Each structure stands twice: as structure tokens, then as C-alpha cells.
Amino acid sequence: MKQQITAQRVVMYVLILLTLFFLSKNLWTDWQSVTNYEFSLDFARLLSASIMLIAAYVSFAVMWNTILRKTETQSTLSHFQAVKIYMMTELAKYLPGKIWSVTGKIYLGARLGIPKKSLLVSSLINAVLHIIGILFVGAVFLILSLPVYPAIVLLTAVVIIALGLIGLHPKIFYPITNFILNKIGKNSIPKEMGLSYKKIIKFFITYMAVDIFLGAAFYVFVAALTPVSVDNFFLIVSSFCLASGLGMVAFFTPSGLGVREGVMVAILQLVIPGPVAVLVSFFARVWVTIAEIVLLAIVVVMGKISVLTKERGS
């Protein structure tokens, strides 16, 4: 077993290094086009994009806490505490494996008196709906970015929507989720703790709305670096959503490293030169990481101020 895990890690790092190598090689080979390219750094747009990104993260944390309250009606976790836990565990995605974010939520939430089973179920439902939602938005927006809509494309869109709605039904959603959980050695979601189809659909629509907002933040970020047309809005949003979603399901890479950049470059180079797209993908990762750290710092500082205020008041 130990040798198998070691081999998987070796393959993981090899794939990451190969992806980053080819992206860097593309950048190096055509560096001249990068130096000749007209970049237009717009700090106002960059700030706007960052605020939008932080707002999206806060929304995801609140949605996770809302799901937790549906599965554990006695939960006393405030939205402020949820944002703090969510952002602390979000940084764990940079570690190899995809379990640390969920494990972190369980550990930190349990310290506040929340039952571990409720934390596990809410975290898993949150993760699954987030992944499905962002991939769904990415696929639909990629279709919308096409100049024309052939019959086969429209049919594909209808099939994607239909499969998405059918797949979210509890009789399909939970068995598939539990099958995956059992395969990775985790307990199934108890039937009594599952959400109804109506609630799942409501959460799914909310996740998609935030994912669109998140993609719009990325569009503003790209527009802050280089001139892009509004006509490319759907394509740029889809590049971020598909890259993020596929990065989440790439269990062999920490934080989808390499996978996210590769998918993003493949789509972005349809509207901007390939080497520039590579740079944008690298900058995007730095931008997201800084925003995560800033939000966590803000929450921690606000928490400290709140504690000091209460101590002085007493």
C-alpha cells in the first residue's frame, strides 16, 4: 500500500512538472510576442476584481454554513465563524490530496461544538455542488461563446441541462456520492441528513449564480491586464470556471496545479496570444492566493478586535 501511494505521488509530481514545463516552454519560445504585446495594467479594475473575488468566497462560506444548518438544526455556528473556518481550510487545498479542506472543517467546527457527522455531510454536499455548479456554468458559457449555434450544439446544451437536473435528484445524487465516498474509504451520507430535491436545486442555482459572479471577477481581472472585448465575456468566464472545476476534480494535484493553468490557457488563447495566456494563468493563481490570504487576515483581525472590544466592555 505504501509503495502504491509513493508511486501515485511520483506520477502526480511528474504530471505537474510536465504541464508546467510545456506552459513555460511555450512562454519562452514566443517571448518576443509577449514583450511586443500591449499590456494595460488598470489598478481600478484590479481592485474591483479582487473585491468581487473576496465577495464570492464569503458567499461560498455562507452557503456552506447554510447547508450545515439544514443538516444540523442545532448548529450555532455564525456566518462570521463559518467564513473564518472556510478560508483557513481553503488554503489547505495547496497540500497534496483533496481531503484536507473537508478534514479541516471537521476539526475546526468540532472545536466549536458542532457534531463531526454534520460537518462531514455539509462539507461533502458543499464540495459536490460547488464542483458540479462551476463545471455546469463553464460548459454552458463555453457554448454561449460560440458565434453560431448549430443544432448539435443546442442539443448538447439541452442534454447537459437535463443530465444536470436528473443527476441532482436525491435518488441519483446520494448513491453516486456515497459510492465515491466508499471508494475513498469514507462513510456514506446518512439518509436522514440528506437534503430534499427542492433544497438541492435551490442550493445548486445559488452556487451557479456565485460561480457566474466569480467568473465575472476573472473577466475584470483579465481586462485589468490586457484589452479584451465584452464579446469575449462568455469565453473568459468559461475558461476560469472550467479550469477551476477540472482543477478541483484532479485529485492527483494540489489545488489543481498545472491542470487549472493548462485548461485556462487552452481556452484563453482563442482570444489572446498563447504566451500571454500562459502569463495570465500564472498571474491568476497568484491573484487568487493573495485574495484568499487577505480575506483570512481580515476575518482574523476582525475577530481579534471583537474579542478586545468585549473584554473592554466587561
- Identify whether 172 is part of a domain: yes
pLDDT at 158 over 90: no
pLDDT digits (tens, 9 = 90+) for 170-186: 888 778 777 766 765 66
> What is the mean predicted confidence (pLDDT) over 61-85?
89
Alpha carbon 289 to its chain centroid, in Å, reads: 12
| Full DSSP string of 177-244 | HHHHHHHTT-PPPPGGGSPPHHHHHHHHHHHHHHHHHHHHHHHHHHHHHS---GGGHHHHHHHHHHHH
- Identify whether 116 is part of a domain: yes
- Its domain, for residue 83, covers 2-28+42-313
- Identify whether 33 is part of a domain: no
Burial of residue 87 (number of CB atoms within 10 Å: 0-12, 13-18, 19+): buried
- Identify whether 294 is part of a domain: yes
> What is the mean predicted confidence (pLDDT) over 125-149?
85
- Identify whether 36 is part of a domain: no
- Identify whether 87 is part of a domain: yes
Burial of residue 42 (number of CB atoms within 10 Å: 0-12, 13-18, 19+): middle
DSSP assignment letter at 24? H
Rounded Cα gap, residues 165 and 168, in angstroms = 5
For residue 53, the tally of other CB atoms under 10 A from its CB is 24
- Written as nine digits, the cell of 312 is 473592554
Number of domains forming the structure of the chain: 1
User: What would you report as the CA-atom Rg of the chain, rounded to the nearest whole angstrom?
Assistant: 21
Rounded Cα gap, residues 53 and 14, in angstroms = 31
To the question of pTM greater than 0.85 for the whole model, the response is: no
pLDDT at 149 over 70: no
pLDDT at 2 over 50: no
Question: What is the three-class DSSP state of 272?
Answer: coil
Most confident among 220-229, 242-251, 271-280 (mean pLDDT): 220-229
What is the band of 1 on the pLDDT scale with cuts at 50, 70, 90?
very low
- Identify whether 147 is part of a domain: yes
- Identify whether 258 is part of a domain: yes
- Written as nine digits, the cell of 13 is 509530481
pLDDT digits (tens, 9 = 90+) for 104-130: 888 888 888 888 888 888 888 888 889
Rounded Cα gap, residues 133 and 139, in angstroms = 10
User: First and final CA of the chain: distance in angstroms?
Assistant: 56
What is the band of 150 on the pLDDT scale with cuts at 50, 70, 90?
low
Give the residue among 263, 269, 282, 271 at the shortest CA–CA distance from 227: 271
DSSP assignment letter at 314? -
